Amino acid sequence: MHEMSLAEGVIQILEEYAMNEGFSRVKTVWLEVGQLSNVEVDSFRFCFEVVCRGTLAENATLEVIETPGRGYCLDCCQSVEHSQRFDPCPQCNGYKVQATEGSEMRVKELEVE
């Protein structure tokens, strides 16, 4: 389950921010997750709760902002909405769609003390 390692990575990011910015507790994390990122959001929520135990983010609220996927079709040269990797282009049904947005996962905002 790669969601566990992703959750651990988020905790590392929070700890680095805390060291640099001087806060001791994270109350809320807003996490942006792209539709094409291959992150199972429910699994990530569970893993985040587990890895937060005993850290500065224990009992933190996780707010997930899901962002849509977009791609560029090399067959019809169109920018298209794309909800699943390896799906055909909704314009021409070609399979040469390169993801341009929605494949990322990032900490967007924090509420801290």
In a domain, 60, yes or no: yes
Report the amino acid identity of residue 38: N
CATH label of the domain that carries residue 11? 3.30.2320.50
- How far apart, in Å, are the Cα atoms of 110 and each of 29, 73, 87? 5, 36, 34
In a domain, 9, yes or no: yes
Q: What is the 3-state secondary structure (H, E, C) of 19-64?
A: HHHCCCCEEEEEEEEECCCCCCHHHHHHHHHHHHCCCCCCCCEEEE
**pLDDT at position 1 over 80:** no
Residue found under tokens 């937060």? 52
pTM of the prediction?
0.86
In a domain, 94, yes or no: no
Residue 31 lies in domain: 2-69+101-112
Total structural domains within the chain: 1
Long-range contacts of 39-47 (CB under 8 A, 24+ apart): 39/3, 39/6, 39/105, 40/3, 41/66, 43/1, 43/3, 44/3, 44/6, 44/7, 46/3, 47/1, 47/3, 47/4, 47/6, 47/7
In a domain, 83, yes or no: no
In a domain, 87, yes or no: no
In a domain, 6, yes or no: yes
pLDDT in tens, 29-83: 999 999 999 999 999 999 999 999 999 999 999 999 999 999 999 999 999 999 8
In the predicted model, what is the mean pLDDT of residues 101-111?
96
